[in-house]
Amino acid sequence: MKKPYPSSLGNWLYTALLRLYPPAFRHDFGDEMLIVFQLRLAELQRQSRMRLTLFLFRETTGLVMNGLSERLRERHLQQIVLFSQGELRQPARFARFHTLTLIVVVAAFVWLIFVPYYAYGLHLKPASMVAGGNFDPKGFPVYNSTLGCYVRLLSMIVALLTPLWIAGFGSLLGITLVRYWVVIAERQRTTSLVALSLASGLLVFLFSPAGRVIMSWFMD
């Protein structure tokens, strides 16, 4: 990609975020996108600060969302799950949907993993909290309940189904799950098993023809 024209923080940020796009996309459209961004930036710099802020916000979030979508799209994820080929709007929607799913999953995990750390002190580990009996799951119902196990497992499956760059994240979740499986009490293992069965069932359903039809209702 050629060097941007006037060097500025906006250009630098834009060029950096463009790296979220697949190389082929950057090669085809990167220069043009940067030029259009520069022209818009120059235009809006002459207008109100509010419009400029909104523009920068829209551009940066647009680059992140669309960049990740293009990456997912490039890896042909749309062929794995929901939609048949053919409609112009569907692959893009699916990629966007998948990106959003990932963001939600990552956010949920950050919450699940870090909230107890902050609540009980950074020196404590989740295993010792449970094993030592100091951890009160009532404060964090999602953390140590059937629903918690379910969310964790489902998230792990979603993460593992996504492209390679997220494989490390999936592995981390796997380790977390195994760790909990070892330290949790016997009765909680039963609930975890129920959660596992539910998650597996849902996953099978999502990949089934009926699941595809239902998902397509939400996507159209």
Partner 1 sequence: MDVTGPNYLPLTETTFFILLSLAPGSKHGYGIIKEVESLSDGRVTFSTGTLYGALKRLLECGWIVGVGNPEPDESVRPRKDYRLTETGWHVLSAETDRLHKLAKLAQLWLEEGEA
Using CA atoms, how far apart are residues 35 and 98, in angstroms rounded to an integer? 29
Query: Under a CB-based contact definition with an 8 Å cutoff, are residues 91 and 83 in contact?
Result: yes
Selected from 6, 46, 49, 88, the binder of partner 1 by CB under 8 A is 88
- Pick the closer one to partner 1 by CB: 26 or 152: 26
Site for partner 1 in 39-68 (CB under 8 A): 39-40, 58-59, 61-63, 65-67
Query: Does 76 help bind partner 1 (rule: CB under 8 A)?
Result: no
Selected from 6, 7, 9, 32, the binder of partner 1 by CB under 8 A is 32
Query: Under a CB-based contact definition with an 8 Å cutoff, are residues 162 and 103 in contact?
Result: no
Query: Does 78 help bind partner 1 (rule: CB under 8 A)?
Result: no
Using CA atoms, how far apart are residues 51 and 145, in angstroms rounded to an integer? 46
Neighbour-count burial of 47, counting CB atoms closer than 10 A to its CB (0-12 exposed, 13-18 middle, 19+ buried): exposed
Token readout for 121 is: 């002190």
Instruction: Tell me the Cα Rg of the chain.
Output: 22
With CB under 8 A as the contact rule, which of the stretches 88-96, 126-134, 166-174, 200-208 interacts with partner 1? 88-96
Query: Under a CB-based contact definition with an 8 Å cutoff, are residues 95 and 70 in contact?
Result: yes
Query: Does 69 help bind partner 1 (rule: CB under 8 A)?
Result: yes
**Contact residues for partner 1, defined by CB under 8 A:** 2, 5, 25, 28-29, 31-33, 35-37, 39-40, 58-59, 61-63, 65-67, 69-70, 86-89, 91-92
